Amino acid sequence: MKVDVLLGLQWGDEGKGKVVDVLTPRYDAVARFQGGPNAGHTLEFEGKKYVLRSIPSGVFQKDTVNIIGNGVVLDPVLFEEEARSLEASGVPLKQILKISKKAHLILPTHRKLDAANEAAKGSAKIGTTGKGIGPTYTDKISRNGLRVGDLFDNFGRKYQAAKERHIAMIQRLGGDTEIAELEEKWLNACEYLKEYDLIDSEYYVNGMLKEGKKILCEGAQGTMLDVDFGSYPFVTSSNTVTAGACTGLGLAPNKIGDVYGIFKAYCTRVGSGPFPTELFDETGQKIRAIGHEYGAVTGRERRCGWIDLVALKYSIMINGVTRLIMMKSDVLDGFETVKACVAYEFDGKTTDHFPFDANDLPLKPVYKDLKGWNTDLSKATSPADFPKEFNDYIDFLEKELETPIYILSVGPDRTQTIVRKPL
C-alpha cells in the first residue's frame, strides 16, 4: 500500500483543508508532515467554519486516525487552544490524534526571535506569520532543537539552556525578551500535550501501510514557499513539496502513490516576495473582495493576481503531481475575460521557466485571454452544470499543464465540491 499526498502548488491558502476533509472518508489516516501553526486550513460544513493550524484536517470525519509527523513544528500553547476548541465541538481528539515524539517544539523565545529577525531585516522582511517557524527549524537543523519526546527526560534543564541561548540572541538583535506570561502558559500547555498519544510515528505509518491501510498526507503552505524550490528567501522554512512527506513522516520515496496538486483558479500570496502576475488595479481588488482573500491566521490582506501557469508547471514537475484540483472557480464567475499567464518576458526575452532571480527581474507576464463564463458556479452540483466557457477553461488548463483536473471546488462548503473524474 502507498500513501497519497495532497499539497499546495502556489503560495499557500489554495484550499487544502477543505479538500482533505472531503477526501478523508476514503482514508484510514490523515497525516501532517511539515509546517506548524503558520498554516491556517479552513473547513466549512453544516453552517459552521473551523480553522485548523497544527491539527490535520481529517479530525471531523469519523473513524480516521490523525497524525502529526516528525517534520511538523508544534507550539504547545497554540496546540492546546486548537485542541480544546475541537474537544468542545465534540471531536474526541485524544482518541484519534497521534503525535510524533520527533516533532520539534516551538518555544516562547522562538516567537520572540521570529519578531526580532523580521525587525532586523527592515524593509527586506519576509512577512512571516510571527509564529516562530523559522527559528524553530533553524534550531532543528543546527541540532539545538527540543522535541516532543524530550518532555519526558530532563526537560526543565534542556528548556532553560535553550531559553538562555535564545535570550542572548534576541538581546543582540535588540528585540523584546519579555516572556514571563507566555512561558507559564507554555509550560502548562506542555503538560496538556503529554496527555496525548506521543509515538514513534515512522513505525506507526509504515505499520499501517503493511496492514493495507490508506493514508493521506496533508501539506501545509505551498510549493512556491518551499525552502529549496520556492521564491527564496521569501519562503517558509520547511520542504512543502512531496519529498517533504518522505522526510516528515519517515516514508520511503517508493511509498508515494497519487499526488494531488491543488491550486486556485487565480493566484494569491501573503507576505513579501516575487509574484509575477500580481494585480495592483481594480481587478485585483475585485478578486480579493469576492474571494475573501484575507489570511486565515493573521487576517492580513492577500495579494491577488491571475493564474500563473509558469509557476504551476514548475510546481507540478517538482511534486510529480498526478491529479489536479482547482479551487475557487466561483470567484471568477462575474469576469468578462479570464487571463492565464503562459510565459514571462524580461529584457526582450521570453521564458516559460520560473527564474532563479525572480525577485530582481522585471518579469512581465504574457497572458492568454479566455472568455469568462458569466454563470453562478456555486450552485453547480455536477460537471453537467458547467457552461461551455468554463469547460473550455478547464480543457485549456489540462492541455497546458499536461495533468488531468479531477476535482473542482465551487464554494467554501464541503458540499460545493465536484468530482469530475472517478477517484
Which residues are identified as catalytic? 13, 41
Helix (H) or strand (E) holding 260: strand 256-264
The residue among 10 and 329 lying less far from ligand IMO, judged by its C-beta, is 10
The entry of ligand IMO, Mg ion, ligand GDP, none near residue 271 (CB within 5 to 8 angstroms by kind) is: ligand IMO
Interaction partner, residue 407 (Mg ion, ligand IMO, ligand GDP, none; CB < 5-8 Å by kind): none
Return the number of the residue (64 or 109) whose C-beta is nearest ligand GDP.
64
CB 303 within 8 A of CB 274: no
Q: Using alpha carbons only, what angle is made at residue 52 by residues 22 and 109, rounded to the nearest 5 degrees?
A: 155
- Per CB under 6 A, which of residues 242..281 are in contact with ligand IMO? 270-271
The answer to the question of residue 15 lying near ligand GDP (CB under 6 A) is yes
CA–CA distance from 273 to each of 125, 263, 358, 368 (Å)? Answer: 9, 19, 9, 24
Of 199, 351, 358, the C-alpha closest to 278 is 358
**Binding-site member from 328, 354, 405, 418 for ligand GDP (CB under 6 A):** 328
Q: Where are the beta strands (DSSP E) in 265-336?
A: 267-269, 303-305, 307-308, 323-327
Q: Is 18 one of the binding residues for ligand GDP (CB under 6 A)?
A: yes
CA 335 to chain centre: 28
For residue 341, give the 3-state DSSP assignment.
Answer: strand
* Residue 8 interacting with ligand GDP (CB under 6 A): yes
SS3 (DSSP) at 287: helix
Transcribe 135-184 into DSSP letters: HHHHHHHTT---BGGGGGSSHHHHHHHHHHHHHHHHHHHT-----HHHHH
The answer to the question of residue 226 lying near ligand GDP (CB under 6 A) is no
- Determine if 296 is a binding residue for Mg ion (CB under 5 A): yes
How many chain residues interact with ligand IMO (CB under 6 A)?
A: 22
Place of cell 482547482: 326
The DSSP bridge pattern shows strands 41-45 and 65-68 to be: unpaired
Give the footprint of ligand GDP on residues 386-415 (CB under 6 A). Answer: 409-412
**Torsion-angle region of 40 (φ positive above 0: left; ψ -120 to 50: alpha; else: beta):** beta
Question: Which residues 101-140 are close enough to bind ligand IMO by CB under 6 A?
Answer: 126-129, 131, 133-134
236 binds, among ligand IMO, ligand GDP, Mg ion, none (CB under 5 to 8 A by kind): ligand IMO
Which residue in this structure is represented by grid cell 465551487? Answer: 410
Q: Give 134 or 149: the residue with its C-beta nearer to ligand IMO.
A: 134
Binding residue (CB under 6 A) for ligand IMO from 13, 75, 80, 330? 13
- Partner from ligand GDP, Mg ion, ligand IMO, none binding residue 15, C-beta < 5-8 Å depending on class: ligand GDP
Site for ligand GDP in 39-78 (CB under 6 A): 39-42, 44
8 Å CB contact between 80 and 53:
no
Is residue 38 within the footprint of ligand IMO (CB under 6 A)? yes
Report, in Å, the least distance between residue 203 CB and ligand IMO: 27
Q: Tell me which residues touch ligand GDP (CB under 6 A).
A: 8, 12-18, 39-42, 44, 292, 296, 327-328, 330-331, 409-412
Residues that bind ligand IMO (CB under 6 A): 8, 12-13, 38-41, 126-129, 131, 133-134, 220-222, 225, 236-237, 270-271
